[in-house]
Amino acid sequence: MSAEDLARLSLAAFDQVVGSTLGFRSRPGQRDMATRIATALSGVTLGEHASPEKAITVIQAGTGVGKSAAYLSTTVSMALARKTRVVISTATVALQEQLMTKDLPALAAVLETPFVFALAKGRGRYLCKFKLERFVGLGIAGADEASEDLFGIDEDTPPPKATYAKQLEGEDPEERRMKLYDSLATAIASNHWDGDRDNLAEQPDPRDWSAVAAERHTCTARHCPRFRDCSYYNARTKLSEAHVIVANHDLVLASLGMKALPELDNCLVVFDEGHHLPAVALDQFSSAMDLSGLRWVDKLPKILQEVSEKIHMALAQDVHTLAQQLKSALHDVGRLGMDLLTVSSTGYDGVHRFKDGVLPEALHDPVTLIQGHGSGLAKALEALGAELKLRAKEDPSEAANCSAMYAKLGQMAPKLNSVVTTANLLLEHGPQPLAKWLKSDTSSGLVFLTAHACPIVPGDLLRQYLWSQVRGAVVTSASLTSCASFDYFLHEAGLVNKPYVSTLEVESPFDYTTQGQLIVVETTADPKQAEAYTREMVGELMGDLARVELGALALFTSRVQMKAAVDALSASLRDVVLVQGQMARGRLLATHQARVEAGFPSVIFGLQSFGEGLDLPGKLCETVFIAKLPFSPPSDPVEEARSEWLKTVGRDPFSELVVPATGIKLLQWTGRAIRTEDDHATVICYDRRLLKLGFGRRMLKGLPPYPVTRRVDGVAHPA
């Protein structure tokens, strides 16, 4: 089928979908989006080819465009015609649920060609039945020495706050694990559960779950006795039969080269909520090592020696000496690190970043020792693992024993790999420095010290590892432009100056000039004067809250700022305000909705996570209060390192990074106001810099075309 025929077929599918939608309102922008996708992707070359054609189209689709219908109808119909598949990657669980329960079923009901869709999850979301059987069969948890040694709970990992609180109340962790593993075994045996953690009625403690979770390092795959009814591999089989796979950005990047998802050069890809890709890339390619929980280092040589003796394989390394030296070097780095943190922060919580990505001389030698000793132990572990897989393959009667020993080794692999990888990055030097820092955390009640290293330019990572593989893709979101330009996102995503990349901005169908307004309050205090500004802003906010009739949302840039507003609430307003963190998100939103539907005022106080993805249409949100322009905290070590590097090469990080990044956040925050064509809402921003300063006016250009007024001493004036 020619490119022109594929484009026509895809657009015909789009027309069929929208024509079948009850109450559909014509949205020219939605058709523009569908046309761009159909045209751009129709000419890409998939599979093996000497000089393949590529196309990546970057589309900002304003709120209300209906972007999922535009990209689903076009890409799925095109993939079916080409006998290939579509991978749809999102950043949030909420969008995944919408695609799986609403959008894809609706598309399947309309398209003439039937198709199968499935949700892809990471391996760790599934139960390893082999591990669970060993626990239950050997006495569960720590009750049996062999079981504890074989699949020990990771005691070095800090417990979640809720778990720590229960432990303080006297909860026995052994008893908790016994109950959990017994209940899981019963559910599996009775076919009442499929091994998917997300399908459990109550989510287990992450540390308890990790001991029985399916993991790459502990899995012998087809050589495992339970391979035929493995929860994870059964899910992968279903995934291989699907024409459309819904995943998330983390999984897509983590699976590159792993064959857990379709090869990206032989399918079509959609990255929805694409503005998250750069941050996810940095997270995926960063590394950290624990400097305080080191009991695993003592276990490692014993496990290596025991396995080597059982299979009569001599180790090339003196693992006991290597482990002792590794632990000593880790202790040295931890001791020196705590000295640095004590100097640079109050108490035990804090971050110490190494300027220009250069380690102090005192840390260089112990980190070099960590790298060398860790690499030696990793080689020993890898050699034993390879031998166990080979023996399981050659002698199926030994598969169970080999799988058990392989899992025993694999339990050690993640921590050992993180030590080696982090040490390598900490010692790395190049023209572009890495962000390197130490962090101390006491949130669990104990002191946990970690060392971190991370690249600072996400675009380089995405260009090298992702876009080099992708042939045809759509990157879309409601917030890809900043300050009325795609430039910032294209640089961050590694797509700038590429001939195969096209951009399109699709306007929202909403009439912002009549449906909303933006009011900028001019405070006397400069926003840089944090205490004075917060005091004045809170006073203005209290007056505005008193006039709220139904639903409203107040967004703050810090917990300190939000607490100041909470403390200032009058008795009557305290009954109106719901504060993020005081109850579960779902319960908070349900309470808010119930109040508004009953005709009472209700205001949500929230932070950054409530500024994106929150859908409060109609009366649920008639006013959005923005306490301050949402600049990121200046203490983020990766952003600090990147700004530092840009200054050294003569560039302006504030103009190049900070302003456009804040512009995108501001676009998201203001986007909470108007969610449907019938909404009417007001955005009130208390930060005068939006109108007074050049960077504020740059951000303003990227916002929807609200009528703008400024308020001085309670009086409105034309902007």
Give the pLDDT confidence of 586-623 residue by residue, as tens digits. 999 999 999 999 999 999 999 999 999 899 999 999 99
Kindly indicate the confidence band of residue 456, based on its pLDDT and cuts at 50, 70 and 90: very high
466, with CB counted inside 10 A (0-12, 13-18, 19+), is: buried
Q: Residue 206 is encoded by which pair of tokens?
A: 């992450």
Question: What is the distance of C-alpha 60 from the center of its chain?
Answer: 20
109, with CB counted inside 10 A (0-12, 13-18, 19+), is: exposed
CA 307 to CA 305: how far, in whole Å?
6
Order the strands of the 117-119 sheet from edge to edge. Answer: 117-119, 244-248, 86-90, 268-271, 472-477, 55-61, 501-506
Residues 6+ apart with CB under 8 A from 208: 153, 173, 176, 177, 180
Hey, where are the domains in the chain?
3-116+242-282+459-506, 122-144+156-231, 286-398+406-454, 512-718
In DSSP notation, 651-664 reads: --HIIIIIHHHHHH
What's residue 151's pLDDT? 46
Beta strands in 62-136 (DSSP E): 86-90, 117-119
Determine how β-strand 472-477 pairs with β-strand 55-61.
parallel
Is the separation of the CB atoms in 214 and 126 below 8 Å? yes
Average pLDDT value for the chain: 91
What's residue 43's pLDDT? 94
Tell me the H-state helices in 546-688. Answer: 559-568, 571-574, 585-597, 637-648, 653, 659-670
Q: Which residue has the tokens 């109340």?
A: 169
**Between residues 135 and 105, which one has the greater pLDDT?**
105
8-state DSSP, 522: -
Question: What is the distance of C-alpha 432 from the center of its chain?
Answer: 25
Kindly indicate the confidence band of residue 156, based on its pLDDT and cuts at 50, 70 and 90: low
Cα–Cα nearest to 545, from 501, 602, 500, 583: 602
Whether 168 has a pLDDT exceeding 50, the answer reads no
CA 120 to CA 194: how far, in whole Å?
15
CA 608 to CA 519: how far, in whole Å?
21
CA 218 to CA 679: how far, in whole Å?
53
- pLDDT tens per residue across span 309-325: 999 999 999 999 999 99
Whether 83 has a pLDDT exceeding 90, the answer reads yes
Is the separation of the CB atoms in 505 and 695 below 8 Å? no
Q: Which CATH number fits domain 512-718: 3.40.50.300, 3.40.1160.10, 3.40.50.2300, 3.20.20.150?
A: 3.40.50.300
Whether 144 has a pLDDT exceeding 80, the answer reads no
3-116+242-282+459-506 and 512-718, same CATH topology: yes
Cα–Cα nearest to 423, from 541, 568, 290, 562: 290
Mean pLDDT over residues 53-72, rounded?
Answer: 96
What's residue 337's pLDDT? 92
CA 500 to CA 424: how far, in whole Å?
35
Q: Which residue has the tokens 């504890």?
A: 148
What's residue 343's pLDDT? 61
8-state DSSP, 464: I
Mean pLDDT over residues 430-436, rounded?
Answer: 91
Tell me the H-state helices in 361-452. Answer: 361-394, 399-410, 413-427
The amino acid sitting at 378 is A
Mean pLDDT over residues 279-294, rounded?
Answer: 95
Kindly indicate the confidence band of residue 259, based on its pLDDT and cuts at 50, 70 and 90: confident
Whether 141 has a pLDDT exceeding 80, the answer reads no
Q: How many CB atoms lie within 10 A of CB 438?
A: 24
Is the separation of the CB atoms in 99 and 93 below 8 Å? no
Question: What is the distance of C-alpha 491 from the center of its chain?
Answer: 20
**Between residues 20 and 568, which one has the greater pLDDT?**
568
Taking the chain, what is the end-to-end CA distance rounded to the nearest angstrom? 55
Mean pLDDT over residues 25-38, rounded?
Answer: 92
Cα–Cα nearest to 468, from 479, 476, 460, 478: 460
In DSSP notation, 200-262 reads: SSSPPPHHHHHTTB--GGG--GGGSTTGGG-HHHHHHHHHHT-SEEEEEHHHHHHTTTTSSS-
What's residue 356's pLDDT? 94
Residues 6+ apart with CB under 8 A from 478: 60, 61, 62, 63, 67, 667, 668, 671
What's residue 613's pLDDT? 84
87, with CB counted inside 10 A (0-12, 13-18, 19+), is: buried
Whether 288 has a pLDDT exceeding 60, the answer reads yes
CA 490 to CA 485: how far, in whole Å?
10
In DSSP notation, 340-353 reads: HHHHHSSSS-EEEE
**Between residues 179 and 434, which one has the greater pLDDT?**
434
Whether 348 has a pLDDT exceeding 70, the answer reads no
The answer to whether the pTM exceeds 0.75 is yes
C-alpha distances in angstroms, 56 versus 44, 275, 493? 9, 15, 12
CATH domain 3-116+242-282+459-506 topology: Rossmann fold (3.40.50)
Q: Residue 38 is encoded by which pair of tokens?
A: 């159909």
Whether 342 has a pLDDT exceeding 60, the answer reads yes
Mean pLDDT over residues 357-364, rounded?
Answer: 95
Instruction: Find residue 472's DSSP bridge partners.
Output: 55, 268
Kindly indicate the confidence band of residue 154, based on its pLDDT and cuts at 50, 70 and 90: low
Kindly indicate the confidence band of residue 166, based on its pLDDT and cuts at 50, 70 and 90: low
Kindly indicate the confidence band of residue 161, based on its pLDDT and cuts at 50, 70 and 90: low
